[in-house]
Structure 1
Amino acid sequence: MLTVSYQALYRVWRPQTFADVIGQTAITQTLKNALITGQTSHAYLFTGPRGTGKTSVAKILAKALNCEHLVDGEPDNTCEICQAINNGSLTDVIEIDAASNNGVDEIRDIRDKAKYAPTVARVKVYIIDEVHMLSTGAFNALLKTLEEPPAHVVFILATTEPHKIPATIISRTQRFDFRRITAQDIVTRLQQVLDANGATFEPQALPIIAKAAEGGMRDALSILDQVLSFSDNHVTAAAALDVTGGVTTSQLGSYLTNVSSRDIAPALETVTSLLDQGKDANRLIEDLIDYLRDLLVYQQAPDLLDELELGLMDDHFKTLSTDLDPEQIYRMIGILNQTQQQLKLTSHPEIYLEVATVQMGQPAPAPVAASEPSETVDQLTKQVQQLQQQLQQLQQPTAPAPKARPAAKPQRKRHLNKAKIYPILGAATKHDLNDLKGIWPDLLNILSVTKRAMMNISEPVAASADGVIVSFDYDILVERAMNDDDLMVELKKGLQQLTGKQPEIVLVQTDEWPVVRKQYLEENGAPQTASEKPAEAPVVKTITDMFGSDDPNVTIKND
């Protein structure tokens, strides 16, 4: 029987304490301070690029919340709970992949189980990875738990795409944004890993790996794993380039030198040779853009380039930084950027790379020189002067000619359905209206995109237990909404989901609402007698029930 004992480097070197986390000092220090002072939150949101430590920090936080011997906010990793979390056997720390568990039923199951106290640990921790993959219904189910969480539960949500998470969820969490790890920090970590494993390396190889990782430590360790296997436990620059598909700085410098000197033939040969070696066309363009960016920075502010980038400079780089002016570099970057977009739509990248090479080697178009005003310009100038004179004549006051009175525009028919509006007004209360306004943003989020766009300028103005009156700013939208059966179905289903009821929905135009409200009060309010106190008059009671006695728009006045 074959047993697999080897573990990938990114698993072996996963951080086990906050101090082990690379490049996220602000986040780890904040969490440690919260643990020391006992001011931890019930819900956290970790956002940032892949491989920057979101899940690792979530597990460390879960250990710290339950560690039996917490020291300065750090878990000891020796107590039973820490060891159980490390080997994944503690049932009170639950990891969920939202990409495959994104339905309402899964989140409702979490909500139901969260009510029960933890079996061993002090705090039950739910770590939901890629939380942006949850459906709209699942987010609504999760929102209910985040609003009123049990005291023994902590939620840690992780995502690479925070813009896909509803604002109602984000507002109920403490958000931490993980940043890309710098190339220098990645190189330092890779050196530690290689030294611990007794592997040898060329100093030029590690920056190549760090650059290819694009700020992700997990990606850097995975690439290092491949390079070690490829080069028999010795990391070389050549092996790193082969694994990452990168190009040496010397090759990039030679190519750009040929292009800038308009020696196109050897530049085209370089492109063909690199693609024949299996280099990725997109990666080649990215490397060229990075190289040109370094040229610009070196020309304007050389101190901004770090030691890694300065170490990769050669004679080509120094020559190009002198020979190329910024305008030429801007033009080359623009051509490469356009080519990169075109590569997404083709299966023959070599053609576009060759075209870009020829374009960059061509002289920049000469600026159009300013010429003397032509005959056409003179004619246009005269015409403008004539038009200005005519305009002045027209603006002079003259006796007004009698004008026929325009026909009155037909007024749009008001959409007032008193048979439905009056029963709602009769039972309307301010409490029902406030409750409805509280869930109105969530109701709009449930709607489809097109329906939500129509309802964004709507507002509930009255509500009872069985009915809702909604006003629109524009009369035409009232008509469209009333005739949109799908919209009314979505609204009722949304209210059913959020309140457990499907009230009658009546739409009015904003300008019509005060009119119909006044008509209702006139038709249903009883006259006040001398023996009645103002607060006891039926019409006053009706108004205060609907809008509240503390409403600034309601004034009770004794005449």
Structure 2
Amino acid sequence: MSYQALYRVWRPQNFEDVVGQKHVTKTLQNALLQQKISHAYLFSGPRGTGKTSAAKILAKAVNCEHSPTAEPCNECAVCRGITDGSIPDVIEIDAASNNGVEEIRDIRDKVKYAPSVAKYKVYIIDEVHMLSIGAFNALLKTLEEPPKHVIFILATTEPHKIPLTIISRTQRFDFKRITPQDIADRMRYIIKDYGYEYEEEALQLISRAAEGGMRDALSLLDQTISFSQNRISVEDALIITGSISQQILNKLAHAISTNDTREALEALHTLLAEGKDPIRLVEDLIQYYRDLLLYKSSSQMQQYLERIVVDDAFTEIVERYHQDQVYGIIDRLNQTQQDMKWTNHPRILLEVCFVQLCQIETNASTNFSSEEIHSLREKVLSLELELRQLKEMGITNPVPKKEEPAQEQKTVRSGKNTYRAPVGKIENVLKSATKQNLQLLKNNWGNLLEKLKRSHAALLNDAEPVAASTSGFIVKFKYEIHCQMAMNNAEFISVMNQILSAVTGSPTEMIGVPEEQWLEIRQSFIDQHQDFAKDQPKAEDDPFVEEAKKLVGEDLLEIKE
């Protein structure tokens, strides 16, 4: 094949081309110039950050005909031979497929032979963490004391899987993730070399999608160039990377801030219909709100923003959010992302998440403007000044005795909740009250409560009818506050009157009275009207009382009103 992928064509050939690893390349260059080359190195870090490339550059630099030098010349026979792989003195081994003891023993047996062309024999063992325990043990002694003409370079993405006995025998260099800005700069240099047209935001999208790996970024760039036909646009980059445009994210954020569930779900279904991955969508939203939180905390932190580009639309949305609201949104999105890993229906979880996010109440009450804060401060200062002037005038608030607050509070409370029953109406009902009307009311009392709403029926929990006539009925309440609440509720009174009018067959009015007041009013009425006592129902006339007498006898029975 004549065509080569971009990441192969643009593989670094000297330390200067290794992007984002200045702390590694500078140290190696100084060691080369000072001829302080170690016998073993360990390069660890994420994928695509230049570990294997740095190993080959180091192998060329130590064997270059112009050594000691900080950079290989890439022109001498040795440098060109190492680059094209024709020199047998630089051996690259894939530990993923050569992880057995026999392969390491073969290295141990051959390591004693001197290099044939170069000055040093260099063993580059990639993905060294894949070696078995037996292979590590076989390599241990050779790695600690190899011949003077041998250099080991171990590369791995998972250094925690390497035994400490191996790590302690090497110089360890940790490669870090490459920043999106450095990746974009490198891609910009490559694109200009080919003469392609591009949009800056498209490069930013690709660099963020690479997640710190230059190889991944160049692979995505290669794919985008093939798709876009020599012009890299934002739309093409979104399709290739599976990312979401900032315009759509702004639309979602606006819908959430305005509690517009319909707009948020429509945008979500549009993205899913375009083939967007739900998990990737949640990840983009988390990064979006992370950038929003950083920018809201300080507008000077634009250099730390990874997902968005600050524009007028974004700054307008930032003003609509409060920090506490953003905290809750990020927590909810993070929980949804975790739950989506264990479900077969990630779309449903995502829809539920969007509905919940749109129902989060905006904490606008605590998001005061600077003018409001200034006004509140002035009011506080004014009140403090007035209080100071009153103290200077000798007006103080004396501390009452311990017994007085409770007594005063009791007086106020009783005055506030005091309910006086309408004595005149009660006496009018009592004048024409009969046993038959009261018994009719009691027989239908249970059905009456079932017809009421729960809130109305609750007012009659500790109430009972005590007297009734053709024009009205008296209900005794155990607690005064319940009586007051019931008689002040116009809807409740109207419903009760309608139901009881239907029961009695004539217009009937309900009159409420607290138990304490009822006893006083009743006794006063009896004293004034002796005939009333004769018509009142007695316990002895109650059929339940008569049945109780038959069961236990009159001597053992005590009757209480």
Do these two structures clear the TM 0.5 threshold for a shared fold by scoring above it?
yes
Change (3 A) 1:204 1:300: same
Give the match for residue 120 of structure 2: 123
Within 2, Cα distance between the matches of 1:26 and 1:248?
34
Change (3 A) 1:103 1:356: same
- TM-superposed deviation, 1:112: 0.9
SS in 1 for 2:200: coil
Matched, 1:296 2:293: yes
SS in 2 for 1:45: strand
Within 2, Cα distance between the matches of 1:255 and 1:327?
18
Change (3 A) 1:328 1:204: same
Matched, 1:186 2:205: no
| Residue 209 (structure 1) aligned to one of 206, 218, 222 | 206
% same residue:
60
Matched, 1:54 2:43: no
SS in 1 for 2:91: strand
Aligned 1:425-504 pairs, distance under 5 A: none
Give the match for residue 405 of structure 1: none
Within 1, Cα distance between the matches of 2:278 and 2:163?
37
Equivalent residue letter for 2:286: I
Give the match for residue 24 of structure 1: 21
Contact 1:205–1:235 under 8 Å retained in 2:
yes
Change (3 A) 1:26 1:197: same
Within 2, Cα distance between the matches of 1:111 and 1:287?
49
Aligned 1:529-540 pairs, distance under 5 A: none
Contact 1:76–1:82 under 8 Å retained in 2:
yes
Matched, 1:329 2:326: yes
SS in 2 for 1:253: helix
Contact 1:58–1:156 under 8 Å retained in 2:
yes
Matched, 1:197 2:194: yes
Give the match for residue 150 of structure 1: 147
| Residue 230 (structure 1) aligned to one of 227, 230, 236 | 227
What is the CA deviation profile of residues 8-62 of structure 1, one whole-angstrom value per residue up to 9, with x for unaligned ones?
0000000000011111111101101100110010000001110000000000000
Within 1, Cα distance between the matches of 2:319 and 2:142?
62
Matched, 1:174 2:171: yes
- TM-superposed deviation, 1:309: 5.5
Greater alpha carbon shift after TM alignment, 181-190 vs 341-350: 341-350
SS in 2 for 1:154: strand
Aligned 1:236-385 pairs, distance under 5 A: 236-306=233-303, 312-363=309-360
Contact 1:250–1:314 under 8 Å retained in 2:
no
Contact 2:89–2:121 under 8 Å retained in 1:
yes
- TM-superposed deviation, 1:266: 1.2
Contact 1:129–1:158 under 8 Å retained in 2:
yes
- TM-superposed deviation, 1:365: 11
Within 1, Cα distance between the matches of 2:99 and 2:208?
34
How does the TM-score come out when normalised to structure 1? 0.63
Within 2, Cα distance between the matches of 1:266 and 1:223?
32
Contact 1:249–1:313 under 8 Å retained in 2:
no
Equivalent residue letter for 1:303: Q
- TM-superposed deviation, 1:132: 0.7
Contact 1:94–1:125 under 8 Å retained in 2:
yes
SS in 2 for 1:11: helix
Give the match for residue 81 of structure 2: 84
Contact 1:128–1:157 under 8 Å retained in 2:
yes
Equivalent residue letter for 1:288: L
Within 2, Cα distance between the matches of 1:95 and 1:138?
17
SS in 2 for 1:180: coil
- TM-superposed deviation, 1:315: 3.5
- TM-superposed deviation, 1:176: 0.4
What is the CA deviation profile of residues 374-415 of structure 1, one whole-angstrom value per residue up to 9, with x for unaligned ones?
xxxxxxxxxxxxxxxxxxxxxxxxxxxxxxxxxxxxxxxxxx
Within 2, Cα distance between the matches of 1:119 and 1:200?
48
What is the CA deviation profile of residues 226-274 of structure 1, one whole-angstrom value per residue up to 9, with x for unaligned ones?
0000000110000000000000001011101101211011101111110
Give the match for residue 500 of structure 2: none
- TM-superposed deviation, 1:275: 1.0
Change (3 A) 1:310 1:100: closer
Within 1, Cα distance between the matches of 2:82 and 2:61?
11
Within 1, Cα distance between the matches of 2:68 and 2:149?
21
Structure 1 unaligned regions, length at least 5 = 367-559
SS in 2 for 1:303: coil
Equivalent residue letter for 1:104: V
- TM-superposed deviation, 1:95: 0.5
Within 1, Cα distance between the matches of 2:302 and 2:159?
31
Matched, 1:5 2:2: yes
Give the match for residue 132 of structure 1: 129
Contact 1:257–1:316 under 8 Å retained in 2:
no
Contact 2:257–2:362 under 8 Å retained in 1:
no
Greater alpha carbon shift after TM alignment, 25-34 vs 347-356: 347-356
Contact 1:67–1:76 under 8 Å retained in 2:
yes
What is the CA deviation profile of residues 182-212 of structure 1, one whole-angstrom value per residue up to 9, with x for unaligned ones?
1111111111100101111011110000000
Equivalent residue letter for 1:261: T
Contact 1:54–1:158 under 8 Å retained in 2:
yes
Contact 2:246–2:308 under 8 Å retained in 1:
no
Matched, 1:101 2:112: no
Within 2, Cα distance between the matches of 1:299 and 1:132?
43
Within 2, Cα distance between the matches of 1:246 and 1:64?
41
Within 1, Cα distance between the matches of 2:361 and 2:335?
16
SS in 1 for 2:300: helix
